[in-house]
Chains A and B, each alone.
Chain A
């Protein structure tokens, strides 16, 4: 990624502050997705945007100090989560990928709906974040290597 090397303080502060909001918003998208606009795919793309901001502000080495996981690994975690949630149906004699939901009364929160669609969507979220970041970082990293040449 062509990182800003201008040390523009205004730009840095703006991007970092924005990325917090974007990250928070992406989590809202993920959890609210079942009843309001949003969902794993949209949430994942939003998170990818926020992470891209972080990589834009710092260079890759520095950003990697904060982001301590590899994105290809995130893709596999997401796939396992989604495929695994689908496998619940095996134990209850339902078809693969049958989703379940029920309403629970939890103190302080009141009545809350818990679904197996959420971990499923979380898996999709991970895959989307992972894939988007892998694509961006690889293309950017390639450019860096060429610059070094």
Chain B
């Protein structure tokens, strides 16, 4: 276990103690203890790894977990992981601090909240540090689970549960697709280790499974990173407490998809499909998110759609950057690697300004009791600090100098113009549309930022709109957003402070395989009089113009439709899913034992018959099977009683005779076992018969009188056919088992047990040695089933519906 392993495990270990804290220290807010976890992690990881990462080093530690299946708990740290590690722990610290003042100690279930949050921190660290794809997948699903639990934190609200379910269904769907993609990668390369896959990635581009694997992995990334059309879960996830929205749904979890795409870049990057799928999805998401955000009237909803839009921006940049892996031309390599630099820089920027904006939205909600744009207004003088932080954050998002968002936006424009000059991947004259979409989306971004700013802080303060006395938030609540806002300004004025430690190492690790000189990418506020600057000026000019006339377009009908149209597919899908599953359940759960038997037998017979048919089992029996020569006479007697007691069963009219007849059948079977010298089986059969008899006699009084069947003839015929085919199948299996024994090509597996029972198991009873030594797992799980059956009997007997309507 290395330090990196402990970094992943510590949040989980800490989560164990959280429930105790509330009892031991009832007067202290649990958040104060939890705060130490991310704080310690960020400090430790910065001290231990920052200089190593800046030198361009990476490290890999492996702890075997299931080595037989190539699943190992291996952790890998390079520039990309380190960037995310700091993001998760750093923002995590601020969010925990913020949550201490946001969540009331007396009213909220703090222990639940912090357990989920720590679980999320651990899982997210696991995602970004794992080198093994299966381990990564496990942590990936754990982040989905933690996110769902946190969205449903206020589970009494119907909307919370709806949002939680929606996010779970969509992200887990993507997770499954991703798992299949990982399996395909394993089939192509024979390893689950990302490092090893990258090492042997040269040949897989021509593999038939390359494209399916890529699409499946991208499905996982797109659902998590809210790319169109999977973005619809994020607006509903805003029902979560605001610290969660700021942390999971803007700064970290939704960026897991970005991380995955960046991580998979050396494997899939350089193919045209990867380039186009990511670029087009990203650009469309950017555009769609921006125009949807304008129509929102809720502060958090605006921020949700703007997160969708910004993640689309980062995604499209990764698409452009993948071109650097295809071209052999060093000049083009440098040009397109620039897009990755922009992506990583904007990733950091987005976390700072969006995190602060979410926290500010939470403060406004907390202090005024509403997030509705049309109720808020004139808060500038009442909440000066909140106002300042919002102004900085919104300006950065809109792309106004001197904040960090401006720099990354200008670089983004530059990359989108450069992509049109791509000499391969079928790029043509029409490509001019790409920078146009980017520009247009930025105009919309500017408009919603201005709109949010104006509606919240300018205008008239109307006392009647608020339930409570509006005043500035407490200092504790303001610390985190102010710190993040400060980062926005610092990164805007001195954008190069992070390049050596975070941005360049992460770009190098994304573009494994090619060596790009990264020194030309020094980030500056002033780019010179380039076309990007004119585009920015255009954004501001058109944006201001559109904003000034907002009274006109807010009257349009489309403005009132703030629910995303893509939701229709989800709603319809959920309805249909519920209807069809209810239909299947009703079809199957009739409450009649006979129907259940019909279902079970039909499936068993059909499955086995198909298998036997396909494997060519219906062949002639070998000679010498049916010799009756050496059968002793008493066997005929035993067989006569056996067959007779079975044959009379359908004609018996009273239950007690029925039970006796079945008992005779069972005893005859036991006799058979004795004759063929299987004492264990005979004993078991006898005992089971005895206990069954007792149970049957006990249940006897509950059973109604046997009535004459009134079912139709065809129904009966079908049942007879099913019963007969089940019987025929069992007979055939026993005959074929006997026939195979005659066939010399097969060696019986029993030989192994006979030979090894004494030397390996230390017992002379082969049946028992097989049960406890060789097949211990089967036995112990059967015991588990037996326990569950006993519990089920208690449930069925004690807690059944007595009278009244059954379901």
The interface residues of chain B lying within 8 Å CB-to-CB of A130 are 787, 790
The interface residues of chain A lying within 8 Å CB-to-CB of B790 are 71-72, 75, 130-131, 134-135
- Binding site of A, secondary structure by majority: helix, strand, loop or mixed? helix
The interface residues of chain B lying within 8 Å CB-to-CB of A52 are 691, 694
Closest to A133 in B: B790
Q: Which of A111-149 contact B (CB under 8 A)?
A: 113, 115, 117, 120-121, 123-124, 127-128, 130-132, 134-136, 138-143
Query: B786 touching A131 by the CB < 8 A rule?
Result: yes
Q: Which of B754-807 contact A (CB under 8 A)?
A: 761-765, 767-769, 771-773, 776-777, 779-780, 783-784, 786-787, 789-791, 793-794, 797-798
Q: Which of B661-683 contact A (CB under 8 A)?
A: 679-680, 683
Does residue A76 face the partner (Cβ distance < 8 Å to B)? Answer: yes
Q: Tell which of A1, A75, A140 touches B787, judged by Cβ atoms closer than 8 Å.
A: A75
Binary interface profile of A, 1-42, with partner B (CB < 8 Å = 1, else 0)? Answer: 110000000000000000000000000010001111111111
Q: Tell which of A36, A131, A139 touches B797, judged by Cβ atoms closer than 8 Å.
A: A139
The interface residues of chain B lying within 8 Å CB-to-CB of A115 are 762-763
Minimum CB–CB distance from A89 to chain B (whole Å) comes to 10
Minimum CB–CB distance from B359 to chain A (whole Å) comes to 46
Complex CA distance for A5 and B59, rounded to whole angstroms: 79
A135 and B769 in contact, given A45-B684, A97-B776, A113-B762 (Cβ under 8 angstroms): no
Query: B772 touching A99 by the CB < 8 A rule?
Result: yes
Complex CA distance for A42 and B118, rounded to whole angstroms: 48
The interface residues of chain B lying within 8 Å CB-to-CB of A45 are 684, 687-688, 690-691
Does residue A91 face the partner (Cβ distance < 8 Å to B)? Answer: no
Query: A2 touching B687 by the CB < 8 A rule?
Result: no
Query: B772 touching A36 by the CB < 8 A rule?
Result: no
Query: B680 touching A37 by the CB < 8 A rule?
Result: yes
The interface residues of chain B lying within 8 Å CB-to-CB of A34 are 761-765, 768-769, 772
Does residue B699 face the partner (Cβ distance < 8 Å to A)? Answer: yes
Minimum CB–CB distance from A17 to chain B (whole Å) comes to 18
Query: A39 touching B765 by the CB < 8 A rule?
Result: yes
Query: A143 touching B761 by the CB < 8 A rule?
Result: no
The interface residues of chain A lying within 8 Å CB-to-CB of B784 are 79
Give the size of the chain B interface in residues (CB under 8 angstroms): 41
Query: A101 touching B762 by the CB < 8 A rule?
Result: yes
Query: A82 touching B765 by the CB < 8 A rule?
Result: no
The interface residues of chain A lying within 8 Å CB-to-CB of B684 are 41-42, 45
Query: A136 touching B698 by the CB < 8 A rule?
Result: yes
The interface residues of chain B lying within 8 Å CB-to-CB of A40 are 772
Minimum CB–CB distance from B788 to chain A (whole Å) comes to 9
The interface residues of chain B lying within 8 Å CB-to-CB of A37 are 679-680, 683, 765, 767
Minimum CB–CB distance from A59 to chain B (whole Å) comes to 14
A78 and B783 in contact, given A2-B698, A42-B680, A139-B695 (Cβ under 8 angstroms): yes
Q: Tell which of B688, B761, B789 touches A131, judged by Cβ atoms closer than 8 Å.
A: B789
Query: A79 touching B783 by the CB < 8 A rule?
Result: yes
Does residue B701 face the partner (Cβ distance < 8 Å to A)? Answer: yes
The interface residues of chain B lying within 8 Å CB-to-CB of A79 are 783-784, 787
Does residue B106 face the partner (Cβ distance < 8 Å to A)? Answer: no
Query: A131 touching B763 by the CB < 8 A rule?
Result: no
The interface residues of chain B lying within 8 Å CB-to-CB of A127 are 783, 786-787
A33 and B761 in contact, given A38-B683, A120-B776, A138-B797 (Cβ under 8 angstroms): no
Query: A49 touching B691 by the CB < 8 A rule?
Result: yes
Complex CA distance for A1 and B406, rounded to whole angstroms: 82
The interface residues of chain B lying within 8 Å CB-to-CB of A67 are none
The interface residues of chain A lying within 8 Å CB-to-CB of B779 are 82, 124
Query: A143 touching B702 by the CB < 8 A rule?
Result: yes
Closest to A55 in B: B694
Q: Which of A80-118 contact B (CB under 8 A)?
A: 82-83, 86, 96-97, 99, 101-102, 113, 115, 117
Does residue A48 face the partner (Cβ distance < 8 Å to B)? Answer: yes
The interface residues of chain B lying within 8 Å CB-to-CB of A35 are 763-765
Complex CA distance for A41 and B762, rounded to whole angstroms: 19
Closest to B684 in A: A42
Complex CA distance for A119 and B699, rounded to whole angstroms: 34
A39 and B768 in contact, given A2-B698, A101-B762, A124-B783 (Cβ under 8 angstroms): yes
Closest to A101 in B: B762
A39 and B783 in contact, given A2-B698, A33-B765 (Cβ under 8 angstroms): no
| 24 A–B contacts, CB within 8 A, in A order | A2-B701, A34-B763, A34-B768, A35-B764, A35-B765, A38-B765, A41-B771, A49-B687, A75-B787, A79-B783, A82-B783, A99-B761, A101-B761, A115-B763, A117-B761, A128-B786, A130-B787, A131-B787, A132-B691, A135-B790, A136-B691, A136-B698, A138-B797, A139-B695
Task: Other than A115-B762, A127-B783, give 5 A-B pairs with Cβ distance below 8 A.
Answer: A36-B764, A79-B783, A86-B780, A97-B776, A99-B776
